[in-house]
Amino acid sequence: MATIYLPTTRRIRQCFFFSLVFAIVAPIICIILGVEVHPREFNCRSSSSSPGDDSTSGSEGNENRIIYLHADLMSADLKQGTVVFDWSIVNDTCYYADYNCTNANIYFAANLQQSNIYMNSSNPSNNNSPTDPTFIWNITADIYDTYSDYPMFQTTATIVNPFSSQKSQNKHPISHSHTSNVYYPFDRYIAAVFCYAEDSSTNDPVNLRLNDTSGLVGGLQITPIVFPPSEFSGIDVKELVFVEISLQRSTLVIWYCIVITITFWLVTLTICLLMIMTVGFGFRQRNEIVVVPVTIVFAFIQLRSTMPGAPDGFGDILDFVGVLPCLVLLSICAVTMVGIYIFTDPAKESRRELTWSGLGELFPKIL
């Protein structure tokens, strides 16, 4: 009895310690990955001087006035093609001036906003300069009126195709830019914000500067690119804000989708091998294993729905290379392995059983 008991005890001990180590290490690794690889905050800060640092802000008149904006990215809906920003005026160099400042109108490029005034009207769309300001900045009320409203407003940017002329000249620009949910989770999108300020009384341009940004959207990696005025104008113009926001799936989402797709194939190939052994070559199989493909078909559909931000229905690239072919193979296996009961019982004793020892006889040197 001792020769049997000691090896059994050793195996139980090894199993216990291996399970204990796995139960401790696996959650720690997953938590560390979740903390370190999750999407970073939508954050950029102007390289120009900060509010209040302009030494000439109050000494050279209204001509050098600078209005500072702060942008909060509140949400991004790739299915609807919108990005919502909350804007606030954090400072104005007129605060430090010894003269009266007039109101300033802040304009946003209407065609880059979902709230385009032409969308719900009979007026045709155009590329003229905006005539209706998005926000009117009344600095006098902000300073002297206790009951003035907060200098905050919200805009909804529209996701657009990349501006790169090189991509637009390609034969298949969408396949190069991946600006479509067909390429989920490798799809990438671009949203742009263009805004400037003018004096409300003289229509003279006023410097408008993006001071900093913030915001975080679950499952998305958001990268801002702030362009200086020299990027799109060869003349000396007042400061304005031109920001391009790149949106793509986070690294964790991409890896999760890849792992799920690999799992689909591993399970499908295992079921197919069981079907080949049971139906094709007549090996014995337990009854509970034979009905597994039927349940796996519905489990795959539910598992596919757990992919964060996946398009509704089927049609993305992972569906074509993973879910759909696996469902076809599983459906064939399910029909075949259930239909075998019409002709025979796969679990009856007269059928030969495929065992590891049988494989060992086939490959004695390997096993």
Quick one: residue 316, left, alpha or beta (phi over 0 = left, psi -120 to 50 = alpha)? beta
Local mean pLDDT, 10-residue blocks, the chain (367 residues): 61 90 93 82 66 49 80 89 92 76 89 63 74 89 83 90 55 71 89 90 88 87 79 64 89 92 94 85 76 84 88 87 92 85 73 67 60
Token pair for residue 267? Answer: 């399970």
Dmax over CA atoms of the chain, in Å, equals 103
Query: Would you state the pLDDT for residue 97?
Result: 67
Q: What 8-state DSSP symbol labels residue 94?
A: G
Global pTM reads 0.79
Tell me the DSSP string of 235-259: S-----EEEEEEEEE-HHHHHHHHH
The pLDDT of residue 283:
78
The sign of the dihedral angle between the CA atoms of 292, 294, 299, 300 is: positive
pLDDT recorded at residue 1: 45
ω into residue 185 within 30 of 0, thus cis? yes
Q: What is the pLDDT, as a whole number, of residue 233?
A: 53
Q: What pLDDT is stored for residue 149 in this prediction?
A: 87
CA-wise closest residue to 85 among 112, 56, 52: 112
Instruction: Please report the pLDDT score of residue 57 as a whole number.
Output: 46
Q: How far is residue 273's CA from residue 128's CA, in Å, rounded to a whole number?
A: 65
Residue 2: the pLDDT is 46
362, 354 in Cβ contact below 8 A? no
Integer angstrom CA distances of residue 265 from 180, 203, 305: 25, 64, 17
Cα angle 181, 185, 187 (rounded to 5 degrees) comes to: 50
Backbone angles phi, psi at 48, to 5 degrees: -75, 180
Collect all residues with Cβ–Cβ distance below 8 Å to 163 and sequence separation of at least 6.
Answer: 190, 192, 244
Query: What's the Cα-to-Cα distance from 66 to each of 78, 81, 89, 90, 244, rounded to whole Å?
Result: 34, 32, 11, 11, 22
Q: How far apart are CA 195 and CA 210, in angstroms?
A: 10
**What number of H helices and E strands is found in the chain?**
10, 9
